[in-house]
């Protein structure tokens, strides 16, 4: 498997997918989805809206959807008219699909593969439903797909069974505790430590279809950089490696909490200033010497208050300071 340092940098970017229990003063945080307004929509209702959306998307016809008059649509942090961007290029769906449903806030979520002019891309989707109509549509499309760099097929990938598991009563914690567990992930990124993150020992993370933890095949050519095989490490080991403290997350949105399946889903704007960080390994030499912002949509699987699995869409690199559009 070919792998170079640029790909390694992209792998490290995924670690930006974290959150904090103590939010920075300058961070824009949506930490708790608001209660639903209007007619309730249960789990089947919400996932049904996702399927309607995907079918209409591939048909290139938003008129097939029950839309609110004031519907708002964004793709990759830009407000657009429905019918633009992926709406004109989507040509099919892959087999990889993960759904999230939050009847409390009448929101539905999805991460999966969409074919764009025949090529597999990762789509993250949030729908807000009000009175039987779609009021908000937020999407992120990862077009810098690792599949073109690695000999594997995103189009035929299947979701890990853990995402479809219903939590037992003994495994459930409150919505606040679920968000708090995901929140600690980001605090661990900023503080460069895994000791404060409630990782389960079995934790794994997948980014744009590629498992980036416990994966020795991610070793760069020429051997282990600095004697460390970052990709072969587990979630906690990577956080404790001293390699992830260059990023901040100034804008964080927890989209929804799927209490039945133990999923917290949101989008987080990873930001690099490009400034030297004297506390990072290597002293004053920044790993990422240019300022940029990159959206990362992430699902956290949480059982017993611990993080068992992370599924991430690492989006296109954007101009420094770009906001999510919401």
- In the chain, where the domains are located: 5-314
214: pLDDT strictly greater than 90:
yes
Cβ–Cβ under 8 Å, residues 81 and 94: no
Asked whether the predicted pLDDT for residue 54 surpasses 90, the reply is yes
Local confidence band at 85 (pLDDT 50, 70, 90 cut-offs): very high
- Tokens standing for residue 192: 């460069």
pLDDT of 137-174, one tens digit each? 999 999 865 544 443 567 778 899 999 999 999 999 99
Confidence grade of residue 20 (pLDDT, cut at 50, 70, 90): very low
Quick check: 291 and 320 in contact, CB under 8 A? yes
Fold of 5-314: Nuclear Transport Factor 2; Chain: A, (3.10.450)
CB 198 within 8 A of CB 192: no
Distance CA 186, CA 103 (A): 26
Predicted confidence at residue 97, as pLDDT, reads: 96
Q: Is there a contact between 288 and 272 (Cβ–Cβ < 8 Å)?
A: yes
Listed range (46-50, 53-57, 163-167, 280-284) with the worst mean pLDDT: 280-284
Residue range 254-280: mean pLDDT, rounded: 85
pLDDT at 110 over 60: yes
Q: Average model confidence (pLDDT) for the chain?
A: 84
pLDDT for 190 equals 80
Q: Is the confidence at residue 125, as pLDDT, over 60?
A: yes
């Amino acid at each position: 498997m070919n792998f170079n340092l640029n790909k390694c940098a992209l792998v490290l970017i995924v670690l930006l997918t974290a959150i904090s229990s103590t939010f920075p003063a300058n961070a824009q945080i949506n930490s708790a989805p608001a209660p639903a307004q209007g007619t309730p929509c249960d789990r089947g209702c919400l996932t049904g809206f996702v399927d309607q959306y995907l079918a209409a998307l591939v048909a290139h016809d938003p008129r097939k959807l029950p839309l609110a008059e004031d519907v708002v649509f964004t793709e990759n942090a830009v407000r657009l008219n429905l019918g633009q961007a992926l709406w004109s290029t989507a040509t099919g769906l892959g087999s990889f699909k993960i759904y999230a449903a939050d009847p409390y806030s009448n929101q539905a979520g999805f991460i999966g593969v969409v074919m764009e002019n025949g090529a597999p891309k990762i789509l993250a989707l949030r729908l807000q439903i009000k009175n039987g109509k779609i009021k908000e549509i937020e999407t992120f499309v990862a077009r810098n797909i690792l599949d073109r760099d690695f000999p594997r097929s995103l189009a035929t990938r299947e979701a890990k069974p853990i995402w479809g598991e219903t939590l037992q009563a003994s495994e459930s914690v409150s919505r606040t505790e679920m968000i708090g567990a995901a929140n600690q992930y980001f605090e661990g990124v900023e503080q460069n430590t895994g000791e404060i993150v409630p990782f389960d020992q079995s934790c794994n993370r997948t980014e744009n279809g590629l498992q980036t933890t416990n994966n020795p095949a991610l070793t760069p050519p020429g051997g282990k950089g600095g004697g460390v095989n970052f990709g072969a490490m587990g979630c906690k080991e990577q956080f404790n490696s001293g390699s992830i403290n260059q990023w901040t997350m100034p804008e964080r949105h927890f989209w929804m909490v799927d209490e039945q399946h133990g999923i917290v889903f949101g989008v987080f704007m990873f930001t690099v200033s490009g400034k030297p960080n004297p506390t990072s390994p290597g002293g004053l030499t920044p790993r990422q010497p240019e300022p940029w912002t990159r959206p990362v949509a992430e699902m956290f699987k949480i059982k017993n208050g611990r993080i068992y699995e992370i599924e991430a869409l690492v989006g296109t690199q954007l101009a420094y300071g770009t906001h999510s559009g919401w």
